[in-house]
Amino acid sequence: MPKQPAPVASSPRRSCCPVACTLDLIGDRWTLLVVRDLFAGRTRFADFARAPEGIASNILTQRLEALVATGLVERRAEAGGGHAHYHLTERGRSLRPVLEALSAWGLEHIDGTEARVQVPQEGR
């Protein structure tokens, strides 16, 4: 039996095109940068806020909430009620090849780009 896709938070779709639907989930200006930072080991709100791109706190809050709602990220409360930590789910980790492809394309086709955020190799 083929694997069924995981359900996604309900929202109106522009079409049934998988490219359009994927862009509706992760195609805004900030979401993949948050995912990139999760791959790089950042887990706390303050960590994401310090990213070099300078995401505003209200936008960061919205993106983290959306990533949790779509099942790409899990929010875990710190013991004792402290800060929350965010972690990629298996579904979120499946975005690794997408990020790697975007990075490789940018390095090859956009002058002056460099990979400054190091994403550990899978399995490390």
> How do the domains of the chain map onto residue ranges?
18-109
What is the rounded distance in angstroms from the CA atom of residue 51 to the CA atom of residue 46? 9
pLDDT bracket for residue 82 (50, 70, 90):
confident
Please name the residue that has the structure tokens 């980790």: 93
What is the rounded distance in angstroms from the CA atom of residue 84 to the CA atom of residue 66? 15
For 100-121, write each residue's pLDDT tens digit. Answer: 999 999 999 999 988 876 666 6
CATH topology of domain 18-109: Arc Repressor Mutant, subunit A (1.10.10)
The pair of three-digit structure tokens given for residue 74, joined into one six-digit string: 């899990």
Q: Contact, 53 vs 33, CB < 8 A?
A: yes
What is the rounded distance in angstroms from the CA atom of residue 21 to the CA atom of residue 12? 10
For 10-40, write each residue's pLDDT tens digit. Answer: 567 789 999 999 999 999 999 999 999 999 9
Q: What are phi and psi of 18, to 5 degrees?
A: -65, -30
| Count of positions (residues) in the chain | 124
